[in-house]
Structure 1
Amino acid sequence: MERREFVASLVAGGCAGMCVDLTLFPLDTVKTRLQSQQGFYKAGGFRGIYAGVPSAAVGSFPNAAAFFVTYECTKSLLGAGGVLSPPHMAPVTHMLAASLGEIVACLIRVPTEVVKQRTQASPSSTTYNILLATLREEGVRGLYRGFGSTVLREVPFSLVQFPLWEYLKTLWSRRQGHTLYSWQAAVCGAFAGAVAAFVTTPLDVAKTRIMLAKSVRRQHTEDDLHQRGWFHLLGSLRKGPPHFAIAPRLL
C-alpha cells in the first residue's frame, strides 16, 4: 500500500468510525442496558443515554483507523501476486484481512469499551470515576476484561460482514456495468452489517456481561466460561431478555 493510500485509509476509517459511534451512541446505551445482568431499568433505563460518551469519543477514531489500515494493508499484501491473488480467492483474502484488523483494533477498543459500558450501566457515575475505580480495584488488567470475548465477537462479525459486503458490491457493480455510487456501497454495507449483527448478537451479550461483571458476579461469569465453556455461557443467556437487545444492535 502506498503512503497516500495508507493516510487515506487512516483518516477515512477513523472519521467514519467516530461519526458512526457518536451518532448511534444512544442506541448503544439502550443495547448495553438491555443486555446487562441487572436488567434495563436498574441499569438506568432511558436516563443518561449519553453516559460513557467521552470514552467512546476518545477510542472511536484510533480504533476504527487501526482496523481499516490493518484491513487494507493485509488485503493488499495477500492479493499481491500470491496464492490468494486469483479472483475466486477474494472472499478468503477479505476474511483474513478483516480478522487480523479486528484483533489489532481490539487492543485499543477493549479498554475504552470496558469503561464505556460500565458507565452506561451506572449512569450516576462519570467516565472518569469509572476509570479510576477500575484501575484501583482491578489494575490495568481490568481494562482488558473481556478481551477474548470481544475478539470472539468481532472476528465472526467481520467474517460475515466484509466478505458479504465485498460480494454485494461486486455483484451490483457487474449488473449495472459501472462502479457503485457511494450510496449504493452504503446500502451494501448496511445490509451486510445487519446480517453480521444478527448472527453474532448472542456473542455480543456474553461480551457485555463479562465486561460489566464485578466481584462475585464477575467470578461466577468467568468460572462458567473457563469450567463449562462458551456453550454453557451462551445457553445461560436464555434466562435474560429473549430478544438480546437485537433491535438496537441491528440499527
Structure 2
Amino acid sequence: MQTKQYSTTSAAVSAVIRGEGILGFYHGYLSTVAREIPFTCIQFPLYEYLKRQYARIKRDRIEPYEAAMCGSLAGGVAAAITTPLDVCKTRIMLSSKQQTNIQHYTGTVSAFRRILAEEGARGLFAGIGPRVLWISIGGSIFLGVYEKAVKTMVQTGLLADRR
C-alpha cells in the first residue's frame, strides 16, 4: 500500500497471499531484527553515557529536557551507524517475488553485498539525512517523556528514587 501498488488493503492482502503465501507478510522480518538489535545496542548505552557525562559536568541531576537532548543525540548516532542495515531492510521489504523483470533482494548479507557492488558505499547510506533527523526527533520525544514520567513518579512516591 505504501508503494501505491495496490488501491485497497484487500487487494494488497490478496496479492501477498496469492504471490507469496502467508509468509509474505513477514517478508523482511529478519532484516528488521538485524537492524533493530544493533540500533538498540548503540542507542541506549550511548544515551546512558551521555546522561552521566552531562550530569557530571553539570554537577547535578539532569532535567527531562536535558535527557531529551541526550536521547536525540544517541538516536541520531545510532541511526547514522545502522543506516546500511535500514537500507538493506527496506530493499528486502519492497522487493517482491511478483516483480519478474528485476532480481529481488533475499537476505541482509546478500542485499548488503549487492548494494555495495552495484552502488558503492554511497548506496548503503541512501536516506541517511532524513533517517537521522526522524530518529533524533523520536529519540528526543521518547526518552524525554520517559524521563519526565520517571521524575513525576519519583516525586509522587509511585517509584523509588533510582539514584
For residues 108 and 102 of structure 1, what CA distance do their matches in structure 2 show? 10
Which residue matches 2:100? Answer: none
CA distance in 2, matches of 1:97, 1:38: 39
TM value normalised by structure 1 = 0.50
- Say if 2:71 is the partner of 1:80: no
CA distance in 1, matches of 2:96, 2:112: 14
Once the two structures are overlaid, the 10-residue window that deviates more, 148-157 or 103-112, is: 103-112
- 1:173 alignment partner in structure 2: 154
* Residue number among 79, 90, 95 corresponding to 1:106 in the alignment: 79
In the alignment, which residue of structure 1 is the partner of 2:63? Answer: 90
Q: Does 1:35 align with 2:19?
A: no
Corresponding letter in the other structure for 1:98: G
Counterpart residue number, 2:31: 55
SS at match of 1:49: helix
Question: Does the CA-based 8 Å contact 1:63-1:109 persist in structure 2?
Answer: yes
User: Could you tell me how far 1:81 is from its partner in structure 2?
Assistant: 4.5
Q: Percent identity?
A: 24
Among 98, 107, 127, the alignment partner of 1:146 is 127
**Whose radius of gyration is greater, 1 or 2?**
2
Query: 1:72 Cα deviation (Å)?
Result: 0.5
Indicate how the Cα distance of structure 1 residues 178 and 133 shifts in structure 2: closer, same or farther if over 3 A, else same. closer
- The one-letter amino acid of 2:35's match is G
Q: How does 1:109-128 map to 2 (within 5 A)?
A: 109-124=82-97, 125=104, 126-127=106-107, 128=109
Letter in 1 for 2:85: T
Structure 2: gaps (5+ residues):
98-103
Q: Deviations over 1:201-231 (max 9, x none)?
A: xxxxxxxxxxxxxxxxxxxxxxxxxxxxxxx
Paired residues in the alignment total 143
Distance 1:123 1:179, change over 3 A: farther
d(CA) in 2 for partners of 1:178 and 1:58? 34
Displacement after TM superposition at 1:75 (Å): 0.3
Greater per-residue helix proportion? 1
- 2:101 alignment partner in structure 1: none
Shift of 1:119: 1.0
**In 2, Cα distance between equivalents of 1:60 and 1:158:** 14
The one-letter code sitting in structure 2 at the alignment partner of 1:65 is C
- Tell me the TM-score normalised to structure 2 length: 0.73
Structure 1 position 129, deviation (Å): 4.8
Q: Tell me, which stretches of 5 or more residues in structure 1 are unaligned? A: 1-33, 181-251
| SS of match in other structure, 1:94 | helix
Distance 1:114 1:69, change over 3 A: same
Corresponding position of 2:117? 136
In the aligned structure 2, how far is the partner of 1:162 from the partner of 1:109? 19
**1:146 is aligned with what amino acid?**
G
1:247 match: none
* Conserved 8 A contact 1:114-1:144: yes
